[in-house]
Amino acid sequence: MTGYTAPNIPADRVTPVLVRDELLKCFESANKEFMEVLHQPATDAQIRAQVQQFVQGVFQNCGVSFDKPTKTGIVTAISQCKANAESMMGPAGSSIIAHHYAEMIKLVDKLPDS
């Protein structure tokens, strides 16, 4: 399993919307890996739909805008996503979660403070 890798984009081209969209890709990748670990088959379309709904729900529950994200909102949402994934997957998912979280932080760190 290779997992998600954050794109190497110059900091001046990284926007909150780009990071939010990459968060969706990152979660799709992580969920594919979780499905393999759990031996639960799922199609890409099923995973994409679940991830979209899940991530939008996390943004909403955190009180941050999905449509007009800010760095602060994204950091809040990513932290909540990580906590949710850890509670769902437990130790079996810890290395997957750590990898994906680290990749997302590479992008978040390029965002100007909001």
pLDDT at 3: 86
Structure confidence at residue 38 as a pLDDT band (50, 70, 90)? confident
Q: Name the average pLDDT for the chain.
A: 93
pLDDT surpasses 90 at 105: yes
Please report, for the chain, how many H helices and E strands are present, in that order. 4, 0
pLDDT surpasses 80 at 114: no
CA distance 21 to 87: 23
Q: At what angle do helices 94-108 and 71-89 cross, to 10 degrees?
A: 180
This prediction's pTM: 0.90
Amino acid identity of 55? Answer: V
Phi–psi pair at 88, nearest 5 degrees: -75, -40
Mean pLDDT, rounded, for 71-92: 92
pLDDT surpasses 60 at 71: yes
CA distance 13 to 18: 9
